[in-house]
Each structure stands twice: as structure tokens, then as C-alpha cells.
Chain A
Amino acid sequence: MQGLKFTTCFSSPGRVVFRHDSILLKGAVIDDRGEWSTSCSIPVLDAVEVSGGAFEVLALGKKYSIKLRSPKALEYFILDIKDKFNAIYFDLTTLPHHIWAPTLKLALNLGLEAQAIYAEPIHYTRRNEGFDLSERIQRLKSIPGFASFDDEFEKNFKLITLLGFEGNRFEYVVSKIEPEAWQLFPIIGVPGFQPGFADHVFCQNSVTIEEGRCAQNVRYAAANCPFSLISTLEDIADEDSESLLKIAPLGTKPHALGAFLFGYRSKHRVKYIYDYPVRKMKRSIGLGKVHVYDVYKYLKE
């Protein structure tokens, strides 16, 4: 229930209450729910991805070109924001992991009050028996700013996969890492955003769960609650405190945020593995609840 303390849920975007003197950083709008910020009462900055490793933002009368593996440029941007605003909201709905995660990390490191915001969809777009969410996946790599070569030494690791509707992404990660059964921990969002979503997740990933012989390791955490995910991760991590934790955020954005926050303040060694999907236009339909996660407050406690 710790999540309730740091989460505010709104039934529609018009009801979202923002902090004074804050700003919103958002990404490209590709579906209905991405439009939630059009009626936003605070200034909105668009992060435009120019290549896999960089993005640009027009803000404060300047154009910031930021390479994700160039912390100085990112720091310059964050410090400028901090000069003018008291807080920054990260729109997880539209920003990809490889942009929000390193930016959020630096904002927190520099003491800027950071919040995350996420709008649920009503449905995801279907294709035959599956879902039509990504054009393709690009590569398996760490998230910028989170590289680690620890595992050159490490046979003792756990692969924790946060599952979504695309079983092929789970299979890809597992086929590349090849964990033993005891090392593989899939996490499913239960309850899901909508009734039946959790069943879809299970169905879409069942073959790999079976092949990986890890059914007994499947864990659950509320799909829209990063803090629920954190406590699940803590449980897994505490079973063997020596393990390196490889976390693959393939499921919901709130789960990805939970994985990030867990790693940010955990004593455990954490490595993020991501497959960089190219998201399809109109991948979801409708706009559901909007959640604001008080990241700053959570980390201060």
C-alpha cells in the first residue's frame, strides 16, 4: 500500500493538479492517450528523438541537442530547467525509456524535483491472436547511462523480465541471455489496467515461460504501480543478495519506472537490458486513468 502515498490517480487529464512553476517533458504522440497533455496547464517541452542516441528540445528560447551518452549536455539542460522551474514532470506515456531514464536520473542527482506521469489506454491494438504494438525491435543493449560490464565476472545473476503483451520480445531477451530456469523471473502486471489484460500477458508469454521452465518463478505486481513492482523486486533480490540483477523492462511504463527507482536506491547491483522497440502508430485506443507518481518524495523518504 506504500504506492498510495506517492501516487495520485485522476479519472481524466483535465483533473490533473500540477505543482506550481513546473514543466512537462514529453515525447512523440503516437496514439490517443498521448494527446492527454494538450490541455495541460503547465509549459510543455517536446523531446524530439533525432537518432537512437540523441534528442533535441526547444526550451527557454534555446535548442538543446543532447546526446544520451553525454552527461554534460544533459546536465546543462537540466540546470537551465532548474533555474526557471521548481519541478519537472516526465510524461512516461510518450517518452521512450532511453530518454526518460537517463534524464530522470540526472534530474534527481541534481536535486530537481521530478515527477512521473502516465496515461493508461483503454485497449491495445490487436493483430490476429496477438497485439500490434511494435514495428520491430532494434537491438539488445543497456539503457544509456546504465552500462555495466559486471557480468563478465558474473555467473550468479537473475534475469527479471517485466512482461507485456509482446511475447516475442520476452523470447528475444531470453534467447540472447540464456538464463537457467532458476535465474529467470518473469513479472506480470496483476491487476492489469483493464480486466483481462493480465490474461493476455500470460497467454502471449506462455510458450517462453514454459520453455524457460520458470513458471514457479512468475511474480505479480499491479500494472500501474511502480511501487508495487519495487516491493516485488525487493523480494526477489533479497532471496540472494549476492546476485547481479538484470532487469528487462518489456511491460508497462509504470513497471519500468519502478525498476528504475529500485535500481536508483538499491544496494543490489542492477543492470537494465532493453530491446529498443520501434513503436507502432495507433498502438493503443482511448484514454484511461492518469497517474502522477511522486518520484522525488519517494526517494526522499
Chain B
Amino acid sequence: MSEQQRDLNALSQVFKNYKAEWLASAVFDFFQEPIYQHELTSNQPCVLYGGRGSGKTTALLGLSYEGFPETPANRRMSSPSELPYYGIFHRVNGISAAEFEGDELNSREWERLFAHYWNLVMIESLTRFARWFIDNEREAINISDKAIYSVASLLLPDSTGILTLETLADGVRAELGALAKKVSSIGDETIGKVSTLGEPVNLFISHLRENKCIGSKGVFYIVDEYENLLTYQQKLVNTLIKYSAPLYTFKVGVRRYGFRTYATLSPIDYLEHPADFVQLTIEEKFTKIEFQKFAKSVCQSRLEQVRGFGGIDLDNLLEKVSLNEEALRLSTESGTVQNAYKIVRETCAKLNCELDIDELDSYILVSYSKHHNVELFSLIRRVEKHWKRWRIHLDNYRYHSLFAIKKGKSGIRKMFAGLPTYSLMADNNIRAFMELIEQAIIHWVNEDPKSDIISAEIQTKAAIYVGERRLKILEGRSLVGNSVCRFVISLGRLFGLMAARTYGGAPETDQFDLPEEYESKSLRGDDAALTIGVLLKEAVMNLALVERTATKPRSPADTKGRDFQIHPIFAAYFAISHRKKRKIRLSERNFLGLVEQPSETIPRMLKTISSDEVEESDLQLDFS
């Protein structure tokens, strides 16, 4: 297929629509069932944790009565009664939820008012569901006038004449309007007659279940963006989550840290995992290989729809380069690596020694010799003598040393290419992966259309572009986005400067943890610790940082620690490693310094880290 026939507009249509919310029904044309789908459809309540773009909403929409029959595997179903379960999807409206707060009422009164609002919203969704069922299979379902009236009596201040789904929907709409007016003048109002949390919903669903076609099938109430509820509101809905099964089951979609309380209205009952709900964390459900396979199939199915891209295999389209090849390409202009190889080869010849090393190994040896002020002759002798240990050392530094080849020079400083690399950079986030693929293709078509593959250089440019664009919008993603953004930029610069030194620091340092006393200070309410806590939470929630369970504890007391890494989607932009490797400890002073005074903090940290870590790296090469 020639480059002229590649339809970039169509590509954007299927690729730029990363958001499930944007795709409307088309989301299901490309629906790829995630590997955790069967866990979602169990009859137990389920909380699905996932960052923005992790595919959480798509997975939940796939459970809904609107979505399920649209998914490719289930399109043969012709009537609602064929569905194996019924999911009713509801996205929490944070702006509406925020109205139920203020010093006009006490907390108990706000709870009562919000419970009424929540009932109205749930009944509105259920009414729509029942209407859909009847419209598509009239004879299969019946909800009597009496049943409707009994629900309305529990829900509305005036249920007179409410005997049909339509009048119930009108009544709910009118009551929501009245509630909005009441909230707008809540300082002058009394609460008045309100419904009791969950009561009308239970009754409505009981009536639905009287119909054979629903009977004992799963009825899921799907709540997406749970983080938009205020903490006390979560407590109310948690109560429903805990006690609504088996009548109906909640499926909750929430960002990490978005589930702010597990309390319920009962002071002694908490939502507990696994007794009360199944907990699924999308990022943890996929292994690296599984995610790559899933992400590839998601993109591949989209590409098939676009003129000029059918039949392309992403694996083949994205060029992969070996570390040595990358080193040679990075030093094409300067010849640094090629020269190092020549010098090392000449030295070996003079010493009459045969070392199985390539150009990149040679570059590392020359860098070592310069940094430690060791004659290359004597270094080569040592390497020959302790070959096995040196081979390990060289392998440890091969990836890291690539960052230093173009130190201080313009252009690409490190390549980020190949499907596995893109997959790791996305960190199990499908939207991030699609963004990388789409940009790689756009850069390819615009810059190198005659080539059959997307070169590593083009892929890197695309990855830098994606990182830069994400950084630009990061500031607007959170109430403290400004500070989060400054922190990430400063930390990225710090790690970037560290990466650009082959020696003078531990290789591939790209994570940090916090001092052991941080948790206790935070619990004591220390201001600085609390500020750091808020920034970290927001940074993780908005995919600026990735939180990992510490795998390399610095001390026995550190086993429960958490490590943080700049989200690998930013790796190309900062020219830092996208892999999870070594960490530094970030003191409170340095953390806040990176936010407030980066120009003073970064050089100070570099100086300290350099002296600490040099010792560490030297220890690995103790030849005495």
C-alpha cells in the first residue's frame, strides 16, 4: 500500500478516540475483552481500580445492558432476555455531588439529603433500563402500576398518579429540579420529606426480579468515577455496596486513592476485601507479556479499519534495535563509540589478548578508564584476568551507558523503540499505548513515508512528543497540578542528568522512596509530610508517577515501603530509563525543594548522590 493511500484522518478517528466516553457505541466495535472480565461478572461486588486511560470505563461499559449486546462476541443476541446479566451504568457527577456540602446543614442532614439524591439518580437509571427492556421485548417484562406506585411512594414527596415508568421518570426529573432549587437556597430551607437510602431501589429491583427473564440473573449497578463522591457520600454508598447483595451487586470503577473510606453508616461495619468485595487493580492484572498482547490486539483491530494500514503487523512495523546498534547510531556524527572500539581493539592487539566485546562494551571500558583515571592498558589486563565479573559489570552498564553517548548534544539522546519498549512505557495503560502508536504512525507518514518500517528514530520522536504533550496538560489535571507538574519536571531533570553520566552514579536510577520516618510524621499531622502525601497521591492518580511496592528494601524496616517512579511515558522526553531499576531516597527537604526551588535543589542533590553512589558502584568492582 503506497503512502498516498494512508488515511491519517481515519487513523485519528479510530486512534485519537482514546476515551471510552468519546467513542459512544463505536467503543464496542473495537472492544477487546480484558483478561479480568470474568472476575468482573461474578455475583460479588467488585471494585475496579485503574488510572485514567487504563480501560476501566470500557470494561465497565462492556458489562452494561447498553454495551454488552454491542460487543463483538455477543452481537448475535437479539433480545434483552438473552443477556446473562444486566448492568446499569452510572457515572458519578462530581459537580452535582459537590453541591451537598457546606455549613448550612450539619453532617447528618447532608447525609439525608444526599441519600435522597442518590436514590433519585439510581431510580432514574433503573427506569431507563426497564424502558429499554420493554421497548426491545415487550412481552418479556411487566412492572405493574401498583409496583410503580409503591416505588414512587417511597421515593417522592408526592406520588399521586404515578403508575407508569414514564410518570415515574417525570416525577424523578421534577424532584431533581426541586432538589436543585432547595440546595441553591439551603440556608433558608428545611430538608422536608426525603427518601431513605436504598429503600426505593431495593423495591424497584425486587419488582424487576419478579419477571422470569431477570429472575436470579445478576443485576449490577455499575458506578464509575467513584472518586468524584465526597468522603461522607462514599460512606453512604459503601453501605449499599455491603448490604445490597444478593438483590443486586455493585461494580465500582475508581482511580487509585479514589476510594477514600471503607466506612459504612454503621460505626462497627467496614467494607472489607475479600469478604465484601473483589478488588481488581487493572495495572496489576496484566503481566508485561499479557499487556503487550492485549494492547497490540487493541491497536491492530483499529488499524484494520483504516485504509492503507490493513494487514500491517505492529511487531514488524516498529523497528527494534539492539543496544549495540543503538550505540552506533547515536554516535554516527561524533564517532565516539566507533573510536572507542578502535582504541580498545588496538590496545588488545598490543597486549595480545582476545576479548569478546563489541563497540558498546568498548565505549563502556573507555568511559571507565577516563572516569577512574585508569590506563586503558592496565584496565584491559584486569578485564582479561577477571573476565566473568567484568562481563557482569559490562552487562549492567550497557543500557545505562547509552544515555551518555550524546551527552550535551542536541537531538535524540536515547532511543525508545519497538513494541516491547512502547508497551513498558505505557505501563499497562491502554490509552497511553494507543497514543504512542498513533503518534509513531503520524510521525512516520509525515517524515519518512517511503520506508516500510517506522525507524527507531521516528518512534523516539513520537515518544518525546507524547511525553511533552502529557506534561503540558498535567498542570490542569488536578487541584494541585501546578506543584505536581513542577515536581515531575524537576525530578525528570535530576534523573536525566544522572542518566547522562556512565559513571558517577548507580546505573539506571529512576525511582525514589521516602525516609522511614515519613509515615509516622504523616500520621502525626506534620505539615510538610501532609503536603508531600497530597502531592504523591495526586501525582499517582493523574499518572505523573507510578507507585510500586518496594522490591529492593534498603533496610529490614523498609519492607512495607513504597517506591515511586516517574511515569515511563515521560522517559523519552526526559531521556531517562523507562525501566524500573534503582532508587534514591528523597528527603522531605529535597522533595519540597524540587517543587519550590529546583535550581538550588537539583545541583545540591547531584553533588550528594554522586559522592554516595560512586562508592556503591565502585564496590561492585572490588578487584583487590
Taking beta carbons and an 8 Å cutoff, which residues of A are in contact with B? Answer: 51, 53, 67, 69-73, 136-142, 144-153, 167-172, 174-176, 178, 180-181, 207-208, 211, 213, 273
Q: Which residue among B98, B184, B475, B476 has the maximum number of chain A CB atoms within 10 Å of its CB?
A: B476
Q: Bound complex: CA of A147 vs CA of B113, how far in Å? A: 15
A152 touches B482 (CB 8 A): no
B117 touches A144 (CB 8 A): no
A153 touches B187 (CB 8 A): no
Q: Contacts of B102 on A, CB cut-off 8 Å?
A: 53, 69
A147 touches B24 (CB 8 A): no
| Count of chain B residues with a beta carbon within 8 Å of a chain A beta carbon | 42
Overall SS of chain A's interface: mixed
A136 touches B96 (CB 8 A): no
B479 touches A208 (CB 8 A): no
Question: Assuming A69-B183, A152-B176, is B19 touching A178 (CB within 8 A)?
Answer: yes
Q: Bound complex: CA of A146 vs CA of B480, how far in Å? A: 26
Q: Contacts of B477 on A, CB cut-off 8 Å?
A: 171-172, 175
A139 touches B479 (CB 8 A): yes
Least CB separation from B90: chain A residue: A152
Q: Contacts of A273 on B, CB cut-off 8 Å?
A: 95
User: B412 near A: Cβ within 8 Å?
Assistant: no
Q: Which residue among B93, B94, B96 has the maximum number of chain A CB atoms within 10 Å of its CB?
A: B96
Chain B min CB distance to A200 (Å): 15
Q: Contacts of A176 on B, CB cut-off 8 Å?
A: 94-95
21 A-B pairs whose Cβ atoms sit less than 8 Å apart in the complex: A69-B187, A70-B187, A72-B188, A136-B480, A138-B479, A141-B99, A142-B95, A144-B184, A145-B185, A149-B176, A149-B177, A152-B96, A152-B120, A167-B476, A171-B475, A172-B481, A178-B19, A180-B24, A207-B473, A211-B469, A273-B95
Q: Contacts of B188 on A, CB cut-off 8 Å?
A: 70-72
Q: Bound complex: CA of A59 vs CA of B180, how far in Å? A: 31
User: Which residue in B19, B98, B120, B176 is a CB contact (below 8 Å) of A140?
Assistant: B98
User: Which residue in B93, B185, B186, B187 is a CB contact (below 8 Å) of A152?
Assistant: B93
When A and B form their complex, which 4 residue pairs have the shortest distance between CB atoms, in order from nearest?
A: A171-B476, A70-B187, A168-B476, A168-B475
User: B273 near A: Cβ within 8 Å?
Assistant: no
Q: Bound complex: CA of A167 vs CA of B94, how far in Å? A: 21
Q: Bound complex: CA of A145 vs CA of B182, how far in Å? A: 10
B473 touches A208 (CB 8 A): yes
B99 touches A142 (CB 8 A): yes
Overall SS of chain B's interface: helix
User: B472 near A: Cβ within 8 Å?
Assistant: yes
Least CB separation from B97: chain A residue: A141
A67 touches B104 (CB 8 A): yes
B22 touches A211 (CB 8 A): no
User: B21 near A: Cβ within 8 Å?
Assistant: yes
Q: Contacts of B180 on A, CB cut-off 8 Å?
A: 147-150
B104 touches A69 (CB 8 A): yes
Q: Bound complex: CA of A140 vs CA of B96, how far in Å? A: 10
Q: Contacts of A213 on B, CB cut-off 8 Å?
A: 12, 16
Q: Bound complex: CA of A259 vs CA of B185, how far in Å? A: 22
Least CB separation from B176: chain A residue: A149
B184 touches A69 (CB 8 A): yes
Chain A min CB distance to B395 (Å): 40
Least CB separation from B477: chain A residue: A175
Chain A min CB distance to B482 (Å): 7
Q: Bound complex: CA of A138 vs CA of B479, how far in Å? A: 6
Q: Contacts of A69 on B, CB cut-off 8 Å?
A: 102, 104, 183-187
Residues of chain B from 67 to 110 with CB closer than 8 A to chain A in the complex: 93-96, 98-99, 102-104
User: B381 near A: Cβ within 8 Å?
Assistant: no
Q: Bound complex: CA of A180 vs CA of B18, how far in Å? A: 11
B184 touches A147 (CB 8 A): yes
User: B321 near A: Cβ within 8 Å?
Assistant: no
Residues of chain B from 1 to 45 with CB closer than 8 A to chain A in the complex: 12, 16, 19, 21-22, 24
Q: Bound complex: CA of A106 vs CA of B476, how far in Å? A: 33
B124 touches A152 (CB 8 A): yes
Q: Which residue among B94, B181, B183, B185 has the maximum number of chain A CB atoms within 10 Å of its CB?
A: B185
B479 touches A168 (CB 8 A): no
Chain A min CB distance to B463 (Å): 17
Least CB separation from A127: chain B residue: B482
A73 touches B475 (CB 8 A): no
A149 touches B103 (CB 8 A): no
A168 touches B481 (CB 8 A): yes
B95 touches A207 (CB 8 A): no
B98 touches A172 (CB 8 A): no
A149 touches B117 (CB 8 A): yes
Q: Bound complex: CA of A63 vs CA of B124, how far in Å? A: 45
Chain A min CB distance to B92 (Å): 11
Residues of chain B from 471 to 499 with CB closer than 8 A to chain A in the complex: 472-473, 475-482
A153 touches B469 (CB 8 A): no
Chain B min CB distance to A136 (Å): 6
Q: Contacts of A142 on B, CB cut-off 8 Å?
A: 95, 99
Q: Bound complex: CA of A172 vs CA of B480, how far in Å? A: 11
Contact with A along B348-377 (1 / 0, CB 8 A): 000000000000000000000000000000
B473 touches A149 (CB 8 A): no
Q: Contacts of A53 on B, CB cut-off 8 Å?
A: 102-104
Q: Bound complex: CA of A213 vs CA of B16, how far in Å? A: 9
Q: Contacts of A72 on B, CB cut-off 8 Å?
A: 185, 187-188
Chain A min CB distance to B7 (Å): 16
Q: Bound complex: CA of A139 vs CA of B95, how far in Å? A: 9
A178 touches B469 (CB 8 A): no
User: Which residue in B93, B185, B469 is a CB contact (below 8 Å) of A151?
Assistant: B93
Chain B min CB distance to A25 (Å): 20
Contact with A along B183-222 (1 / 0, CB 8 A): 1111110000000000000000000000000000000000
A73 touches B187 (CB 8 A): yes
Least CB separation from A67: chain B residue: B187
Q: Bound complex: CA of A137 vs CA of B99, how far in Å? A: 17
Question: Assuming A146-B184, A147-B180, is B95 touching A208 (CB within 8 A)?
Answer: no
Q: Bound complex: CA of A72 vs CA of B104, how far in Å? A: 13
User: B173 near A: Cβ within 8 Å?
Assistant: yes
Least CB separation from B485: chain A residue: A168
User: B550 near A: Cβ within 8 Å?
Assistant: no
Least CB separation from B475: chain A residue: A168
User: B121 near A: Cβ within 8 Å?
Assistant: yes
Q: Contacts of B120 on A, CB cut-off 8 Å?
A: 149, 152
B476 touches A172 (CB 8 A): yes
Q: Bound complex: CA of A152 vs CA of B128, how far in Å? A: 12
Chain A min CB distance to B175 (Å): 9
Q: Contacts of B184 on A, CB cut-off 8 Å?
A: 69, 71, 144-147
Q: Bound complex: CA of A145 vs CA of B476, how far in Å? A: 26
Question: Assuming A53-B103, A141-B98, is B185 touching A71 (CB within 8 A)?
Answer: yes
Chain A min CB distance to B474 (Å): 9
Chain A min CB distance to B228 (Å): 8
Q: Contacts of B181 on A, CB cut-off 8 Å?
A: 147
Chain B min CB distance to A206 (Å): 9
Q: Contacts of B99 on A, CB cut-off 8 Å?
A: 141-142, 147
Chain A min CB distance to B468 (Å): 9
User: Which residue in B96, B186, B482 is a CB contact (below 8 Å) of A149?
Assistant: B96
Least CB separation from A70: chain B residue: B187
Q: Bound complex: CA of A176 vs CA of B185, how far in Å? A: 26
Contact with A along B548-560 (1 / 0, CB 8 A): 0000000000000
Chain A min CB distance to B489 (Å): 11
Having A141-B98, A148-B177, A168-B482, one finds 8 other A-B pairs with CB under 8 Å, namely: A71-B188, A139-B98, A147-B180, A149-B176, A167-B476, A175-B473, A178-B21, A207-B472
